[in-house]
Amino acid sequence: MGKKVTIDHELCVGDAICVDIAPDVFEMGDDGLAHVKEGMECAGDRDDVQEAAEQCPGGAILIEDSDEC
Where on the chain is the footprint of ligand SF4 (CB under 6 A)? Answer: 7, 12-18, 34, 56-58, 60-61
Answer yes or no: are the C-beta atoms of 36 and 7 closer than 8 Å.
yes
Closest to ligand SF4 by CB, 43 or 61? 61
Q: How far is the CB of 5 from ligand SF4 (least distance, A)?
A: 10
Q: How would you class 59 by CB atoms within 10 Å of its CB: exposed for 0-12, middle for 13-18, buried for 19 or more?
A: exposed
Q: How far is the CB of 30 from ligand SF4 (least distance, A)?
A: 14
Closest to ligand SF4 by CB, 3 or 14? 14
Strand 61-66 and strand 34-36: the pairing is: unpaired
Closest to ligand SF4 by CB, 14 or 40? 14
